[in-house]
Amino acid sequence: MENADLIDFFYTMNYPLDLELPWVEKYRPTKLDDVVGNKETVESLKRIAEEGNMPHLIISGLPGIGKTTSVLCLAHELLGDQFRDAVLELNASDDRGIEVVRNKIKQFAQKKVQLPPGRHKIVILDEADSMTPGAQQALRRTMEIYSNTTRFAFACNQSSKIIEPLQSRCAILRYNKLEDEEILRNLLHIIKQEKIEYTNDGLEALIFTAEGDMRQAINNLQSTFYGFNFVNSENVYRIVDSPHPLVISKMLRSCIRGDFEGSLDILRSLWAKGYSAIDIVSTSFKVLKSMYDIEEDKRLEVIRIVGFTHMRVLEGVSTYLQLSCMLAKILELNKELKIDT
């Protein structure tokens, strides 16, 4: 692409020509006080920062909830101006072999850095549950030899994938999924800073599609703003390429009330727009969780049907016929599932 064409492209997509930092990085907290959610766990990290003696750590939890950010904030508060020289950050999903432990990590552990008494160099391993068992075994010995000068922090989605010898050497902290209110507060802060026009249903769509993942919520906000200059539900769902929950809700309710042809028409239109089976089933599951006007036991029966369809889709049977079968099974329950129209 020629330079002139590239500039025209950025103008068309409303991207800033200076290509500023992604908002996930721009608004990444630098102090533990600014970390969103998981207050009790963050308080534990604050006590470590005050005492100055950091143990080896394993922080586990879902993606996008602040694990790596919390460790970086802790390192900043412990090391201050010496952060750049005394911290090694690696993404273990890329640098996960035994050679990385023998070379990069060992060399860093051997490096001499002048630090205040009681402070240690810090190795941060993101996605640590992706490290090979051999690399984890090699790391065990490195942790033992250099524990007087170097401490390790592992961020992972599942701590059970870290071998037992490493787990026994670490304090394990678990992060929970962020609450909708916590994501909302952070989004409103960014919206105010960036002077973004938005609607309430746009915010609801960002929170709905994020499912407790702050990183995804911020990325979707930035993409929607750059793509349309206005954040509403329609634009958000166009960006994330997901069926609108109101359309899915209408499809499910039509089926529950006995209007099979109407629900099938909606499914047919979604399929014609190119939405995959996994998109339709996943959104159906999320929508059903909030359909509180249906009796709990009967709603669970519908969720069970959607769940079995989800399982079959993940096994590879992602056909229009499979989705039609899901609606047909829900229709069989319509005599029991009486809800207000």
CATH number assigned to the domain covering 179-240? 1.10.8.60
Radius of gyration (C-alpha) of the chain in whole angstroms: 24
Architecture of the structural domain at 38-174: 3-Layer(aba) Sandwich (3.40)
Q: What is the pLDDT of residue 92?
A: 59
The whole-angstrom separation of Cα 27 and Cα 219 is 11
Q: What is the pLDDT of residue 338?
A: 53
| pTM for the whole structure | 0.77
Q: What is the pLDDT of residues 99-129, one digit of tens each?
A: 777 778 888 888 888 887 878 889 888 888 8
CATH number assigned to the domain covering 245-331? 1.20.272.10
Q: What is the pLDDT of residue 12?
A: 44
Q: What three-state secondary structure class fits 129?
A: helix
pLDDT along the chain (341 residues), means of 10: 42 48 88 87 89 88 88 89 86 66 80 83 87 83 86 88 88 89 92 92 90 90 90 88 87 87 91 88 87 82 90 87 90 63 43
Q: Would you say 177 and 140 are in contact if contact means Cβ atoms under 8 Å apart? A: no
The whole-angstrom separation of Cα 175 and Cα 27 is 20
Q: What is the pLDDT of residue 96?
A: 63
CATH 1.20.272.10 residue window(s) in the chain? 245-331
